[in-house]
Amino acid sequence: MKRSNKLRVNELFARSFEKDANINKYEFIIVTEEGRKIDITKDVRKNIKINSSGGTPPFRKDYEGDIFSVDKFVGGKFIVKHDWLVL
C-alpha cells in the first residue's frame, strides 16, 4: 500500500490580531525540521477574516505532494510574521 503524502493544516487564531486587523500585513510559513520553508500566506489570507476581537474563524486546508508527508513536519515550526517581525 502506497503511503499518502497529504497534510491538513488547521489553525484558529484567538485574539492574535488585536493590534493590526489587516491580514495582508501578515505572512504564514511552515518550516520543516530540515529547515525547508513553505509559504502558505496566500491560502491563509484568502480563507480567513479577522473579527473585531482580533481572532479568526478556523482555517483548514489540505495539501498534497512529496513535501507534505507528516514525517517531514514533525519537529518543524509554524511561523507568523507581521511586517517582517516574527510573532
Domain boundaries, the chain: 6-86
Global pTM value: 0.78
Smallest CA-to-CA distance from 62 within 12, 7, 11 is with 7
pLDDT in tens, 53-86: 888 888 888 888 766 776 677 788 889 998 867 7
Question: Is pLDDT larger for residue 32 or for residue 1?
Answer: 32
- The predicted pLDDT at position 67 comes to 67
Supply the mean pLDDT for the chain: 82
Determine the Cα–Cα distance for residues 31 and 72; give it in Å rounded to an integer: 9
DSSP of 6-23, one letter per residue?
Answer: EEEEEE--SSTTSS---G
* Mean pLDDT within 23-29: 92
